[in-house]
Amino acid sequence: MPHIVYLHGFNSSEHSAKARETAAFLDQCGLAETFHCPRLPPHPADAIAAATALLQRLPADTLLIGSSLGGFYASWLAEALGLRAVLINPAVRPDRSLAAYIGPQTNPYTGEQYTLGEADLTALRRLAVERPNAERYWLVLGTADEVLDWREAVRHYRGARQTVFFGDDHRLARWPECLPGVLAWAGDERRERVDET
């Protein structure tokens, strides 16, 4: 199976519920060694640099999973490195949605304190993917997302595979239902690459 890299969201960590659910599922499948969930630095430029460095050490068919801001990062990385990505309630324009958070921040998972500044919003604008290649993505969305408008993601990734859970929120409690399909999709990518060689 390909390796899987999970990218967490804003003020989250490798200990988020969906990251732990993903890790537990892969462990049950005997695939724990294929799972990577780095603790991303809070500043976007640093987060992308850290994720890129990790991916450069992994096989070329690595699958990305990104949640919220991590979905935004996963989109940029997928386009830059030719990867596929599962995007969970992804941020489409975080330079806009995070503008209200400019100033001192404390990550509730890690306790890390930092300041979100205008330079971070500028970095996010530079990372925006205006025309994503729909074939690379599988969107998993909740219609009761209280943080981001799920319809914006539907429009932005028009043509991509999409799973919409009506009534689910930003936490996306039904994420574990997707994990067997994610594993199959990852395996499909491996088979496609083998067929091409």
pLDDT at 197 over 50: no
With a CB cutoff of 8 Å and minimum separation 6, the contacts of 154 are 139, 141, 162, 164
pLDDT of residue 194: 34
pLDDT of residue 187: 81
Asked if 57 contacts 42 with a C-beta cutoff of 8 angstroms, the reply is no
CATH among 3.40.50.970, 2.30.40.10, 3.40.50.1820, 3.40.50.2300 for 4-196: 3.40.50.1820
DSSP string, 135-159: GGEEEEEETT-SSS-HHHHHHHTTT
Query: Beta 113-116 vs 103-106: how paired, if at all?
Result: antiparallel
Asked if 26 contacts 32 with a C-beta cutoff of 8 angstroms, the reply is yes
53 closest CA partner among 33, 72, 34, 38: 38
Q: Crossing angle, helix 44-55 and helix 118-127, to 10 degrees?
A: 40
- Confidence band, pLDDT 50/70/90 cuts, at residue 54: very high
pLDDT at 190 over 80: no
Residue-wise pLDDT for 83-117, tens only, equals 999 999 999 999 999 999 999 999 999 999 999 99
